[in-house]
């Protein structure tokens, strides 16, 4: 890859089978062996949530029941997740990346973007090669790296060769490397969006790139135009190291027509507020990592309460449920004059990371296979841990904090 006369050189660093790789780095005897991370490892009904490439070669897959995985691979080694160990490895990984440039943007526990435009002196592939080598030698962690002129193409490139791949994706190579892929393989397109696109004859990324803009807008709203631009390799987003400190919120409040203590009326108001917040969140394509409520009593005394969530949420029922829990936990049963709900610590829906909750993972896996969720949310390679957001909430937290998918950076 030649150094461009103008433009940027963006890397997307994506760790390979991160959780399994971390376990191997702590216990070298696991290297080269079929390893799986699973919930409820003592029970036959436990589910595989990630596995090494050696296990995958035996047919073991994410969301597969543990009994089935052991049937395919009797020598399978199964371990419980160790999240503190994974967070420590993640911090070490990002510290290493920052040795090459200050422009490092973490987007989840095991992936991030880098802008190395100003760091390049000769061969643009020198830095990604050095990064990959050092991560493997110093931290014993393999990764794949995408090299491209923007974040979207870098993200797509990093997914093209795993494990230990370095893939360059230039705009002039879209017709060869990107456009032939199924539209469902494109970062930012989930199952439902893919189904909608299929309904108008769009099967490949090429079809999307050449789709009718009016038809796409009618089908997907403003997202249709954005996806068409991405399919054509257009993405002007900058690598923003400060994005981990964003404090964004979407909220709504209402003054009741009369003070009330009627729980049905209060629930109706909370439901309407949750709907309003959800609509605005959907428009901005974000999820909330914290829910904040405002309660004003008839005597004008006002209190606020919030709860930091283990996983980002965006569904109306989830927002309503959390707001309702907060309200009835802190309401002193005096007449209410005003109620408000605010979604805080917002994260982009595309990049939102949801970690495993051992008590809810298997139920969530039944709702929608984990691998598909991962592929469509993060276009991951099967190592992320998914669960619904209302479970596993933390204790009330009224202090500011980073967005959930950056929590791994906290000491």
pLDDT per residue as tens digits for the range 32-50: 999 999 876 665 567 888 8
Distances (CA, A) of 63 to 45, 50, 360: 11, 8, 13
Here the tokens at position 292 are 């904040």
H-helix or E-strand containing 84? helix 83-97
- CATH of span 175-231: 1.10.150.20
Check residues 282 and 208 and name the one with the higher pLDDT: 208
Q: HEC states along 190-258?
A: CHHHHHHHHHCCCCEHHHHHCCCHHHHHHHHCHHHHHHHHHHCCCCCCCCCHHHHHCCCEEEEEEEEEE
Here the tokens at position 181 are 């892929």
Helix axis angle for 263-284 and 316-330, nearest 10°, is 140
- The pLDDT-based confidence of 351 (bands split at 50, 70, 90) is low
pLDDT, the chain, mean: 83
The tens digit of pLDDT for each residue in 80-94 reads 888 889 989 999 999
The tens digit of pLDDT for each residue in 280-291 reads 888 878 899 899
The tens digit of pLDDT for each residue in 273-314 reads 999 999 988 887 889 989 999 999 988 888 999 999 888 899
What pLDDT, on a 0 to 100 scale, did the predictor assign at position 334? Answer: 93
Here the tokens at position 410 are 């906290």
State the greatest distance between any 2 C-alpha atoms of the chain, in Å, as a whole number.
Answer: 71
The tens digit of pLDDT for each residue in 361-407 reads 445 444 444 444 444 444 443 344 443 333 333 333 333 232 333 44
Q: Is 110 marked as binding a ligand?
A: yes
Nearest to 188, CA basis, from 155, 219, 221? 155
The tens digit of pLDDT for each residue in 157-190 reads 999 999 999 999 999 999 999 999 999 999 989 8
Q: Is 397 marked as binding a ligand?
A: no
Cβ atoms 314, 349 nearer than 8 A: yes
Which residues are tagged catalytic?
Answer: 111
- The domain made up of 1-169 is a member of CATH 3.40.50.2300: no
Topology (CATH) of 244-354+389-409:
Dna Ligase; domain 1 (3.30.1490)
By three-state DSSP, how is residue 307 classified? strand
CA distance 199 to 248: 35
pTM assigned to the model? 0.64
Name the segment(s) of the chain with CATH classification 1.10.150.20: 175-231
């Amino acid at each position: 890859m030649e150094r461009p006369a103008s433009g940027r050189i963006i890397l997307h660093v994506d760790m390979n089978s991160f959780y399994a790789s971390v376990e191997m780095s702590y216990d070298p005897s696991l290297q080269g062996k079929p390893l799986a991370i699973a919930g409820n490892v003592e029970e036959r009904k436990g589910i595989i949530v990630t596995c090494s490439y050696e296990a995958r070669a035996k047919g073991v897959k994410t969301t597969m029941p543990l009994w089935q995985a052991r049937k395919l691979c009797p020598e399978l080694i199964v371990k419980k997740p160790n999240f503190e160990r994974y967070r420590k490895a993640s911090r070490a990984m990002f510290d290493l990346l920052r040795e090459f440039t200050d422009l490092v943007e973490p987007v989840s526990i095991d992936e991030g973007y880098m802008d190395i435009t100003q760091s390049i002196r000769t061969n643009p592939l020198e830095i990604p090669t050095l990064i990959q080598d050092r991560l493997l030698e110093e931290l014993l962690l393999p990764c794949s790296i995408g090299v491209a002129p923007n974040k979207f193409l870098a993200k797509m490139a990093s997914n093209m060769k795993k494990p230990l791949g370095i893939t360059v994706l230039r705009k002039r190579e879209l017709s060869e490397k990107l456009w032939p892929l199924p539209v469902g393989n494109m970062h930012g397109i989930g199952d439902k969006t893919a189904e909608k696109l299929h309904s108008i004859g769009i099967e490949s990324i090429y079809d999307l790139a050449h789709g009718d803009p009016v038809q796409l807008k009618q089908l997907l709203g403003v997202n249709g135009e954005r996806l068409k631009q991405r399919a054509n390799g257009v993405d002007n987003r900058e690598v923003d190291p400060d994005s981990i400190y964003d404090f964004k919120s979407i909220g709504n409040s209402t003054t009741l027509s009369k003070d009330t203590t009627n729980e049905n009326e209060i629930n109706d108001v909370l439901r309407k507020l949750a709907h309003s917040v959800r609509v605005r969140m959907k428009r901005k394509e974000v999820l909330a990592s914290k829910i904040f409520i405002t309660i004003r009593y008839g005597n004008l005394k006002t209190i606020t309460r919030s709860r930091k969530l283990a996983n980002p949420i965006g569904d109306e029922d989830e927002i309503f449920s959390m707001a309702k829990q907060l309200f009835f936990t802190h309401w002193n049963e005096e007449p209410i004059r005003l109620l408000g709900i605010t979604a805080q610590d917002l994260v982009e829906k595309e990049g939102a990371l949801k970690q495993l909750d051992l008590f809810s993972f298997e139920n969530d896996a039944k709702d929608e296979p984990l691998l598909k969720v991962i592929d469509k949310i993060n276009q991951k390679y099967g190592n992320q841990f998914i669960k619904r957001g209302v479970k596993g909430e933390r204790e009330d937290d009224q202090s500011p904090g980073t967005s959930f998918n950056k929590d791994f950076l906290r000491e």
